[in-house]
Chains A and B, each alone.
Chain A
């Protein structure tokens, strides 16, 4: 049997331990640890439903080996905010009706966070290019683009939200 190893994953600011074999993906490890907000879609790097931030950079957790994420800062959509204290992106998506079934939204909000971190005043091209790895099968994306632009406006108005 392949070796398993106990690794420490730093998820949304908290250290969590898990014992995994080398071929376990970060997506599988996160869901095993109860982080069901990270969704499994295509498992091929096409849909972006599994996106998380790894040291601030958006990655597909389905293509990342869990062992390789040990020691890095992992942020899921739940790490950005919750119902009591939503992140401006989460608030903009809710206010703008940008989610229909909602399955893709955790990954889209993670990608959107990465877009705004790099482009605090994103153009439509920045948003479209940044979301090219996220598929939504419900919407025409229009409300998603609008919500991201609105959130970026809000974050600049607040002088740089987290």
Chain B
């Protein structure tokens, strides 16, 4: 690799947070799987003076399945998700995203917190987590706070994490009874491909109406985001094809895709509409 940096390898979370806090004007970056960061450093998009390796910090591992919430450590890898039958039961959208995530070696080392913190508009784990109402625990040497994932992204590759903070845990409430939770990744290939359009849908049904709707889109805006305009069309309603059409059109008209090497903006907008319609229809048909 080309640009030299120093490296700390703390063995505790306190040690890692202290190392991040003691920058003193240097650029200090945490590194877990490195599957984005090493590539960015090599391409000179990131120029850290010092890195804090998190590979020995076991406090960032572990999944907890409580009566009300599910909580996973920031260093949980994509492969850890795939190996968890509880995640498969509780958050099938995350499993679908994890299956098609990068290649085997990237899944083995790339972490959930890293996927969130890298801020890519194409981050595959983020649409499922947004539709699960995920919350982040952000810790620094001086304080710990929680933040809704929905409030985390501020703009293209800009996020609410301060340089001295780590995403230590990701948690979300268990889904209500009678819920569907799905994700569709549209890409050029079924593996090792960057998403052209990603759509996650979580729908809950109670008393014959849609009690809760969450729709989140990847790769069609500067950040991964929910489309609350489309969710509002569905919530409180007994869904009909006309209502689902209206929600799909709202999703397509509020996203802001660009033309790039993988697809045109027009194609992306078209597929947002088609996939939103498909996933919401499938969820409703299964639940209602």
A-to-B contact residues, CB < 8 Å: 1-3, 21-25, 28, 43-46, 48, 51, 57-60, 62-65, 67-68, 111, 114-115, 128-135
Contact = CB atoms under 8 A, between A and B. Distances in A.
A21 to B, nearest CB: 6
| Residue with the greatest number of chain A CB neighbours at <10 A, chosen from B6, B104, B191 | B104
B108 A59 contact: yes
A136 to B, nearest CB: 12
Contacts of A133: 102-107, 191-192
16 contacts: A2-B4, A22-B4, A45-B39, A45-B103, A58-B104, A58-B105, A60-B109, A65-B51, A111-B105, A114-B104, A114-B108, A128-B191, A129-B191, A132-B103, A133-B191, A134-B103
Contacts, number: 104
A46 B38 contact: no
Contacts of B232: none
B114 to A, nearest CB: 11
A25 B53 CA distance: 13
A24 B7 CA distance: 11
Contacts of A134: 103-104
Interface string B227-269: 0000000000000000000000000000000000000000000
Nearest to B41: A23
Given A65-B51, A131-B191, A133-B102, 5 more contacts: A28-B1, A43-B42, A63-B38, A68-B9, A133-B107
B5 A63 contact: no
B286 interface: no
B54 to A, nearest CB: 9
A115 B79 CA distance: 12
B23 to A, nearest CB: 16
Q: Taking chain B's interface residues, is the majority helix, strand, or loop, or is none over half, making it mixed?
A: mixed
B3 interface: yes
B99 interface: yes
Instruction: Give the bracket for the number of chain B residues in contact with chain A.
Output: 20 to 34
Interface in B1-32: 1, 3-7, 9, 31
Contacts of B106: 45, 60, 63, 133
A44 B39 contact: yes
A59 to B, nearest CB: 5
A44 B150 CA distance: 29
A115 B108 CA distance: 12
B5 A22 contact: yes
A114 B190 CA distance: 20
B34 interface: yes
B134 to A, nearest CB: 25
A67 B7 contact: yes
| Residue with the greatest number of chain A CB neighbours at <10 A, chosen from B31, B53, B79, B109 | B109
A44 B106 CA distance: 10
Interface string B178-208: 0000000000001110000000000000000
A134 B104 CA distance: 8
A144 to B, nearest CB: 14
Contact of A24 (B1, B35, B104): B1
Contact of B104 (A28, A43, A64, A130): A130
A64 B31 CA distance: 10
Given A128-B191, A133-B191, A67 B53 contact: yes
A130 B104 CA distance: 5
A2 to B, nearest CB: 4
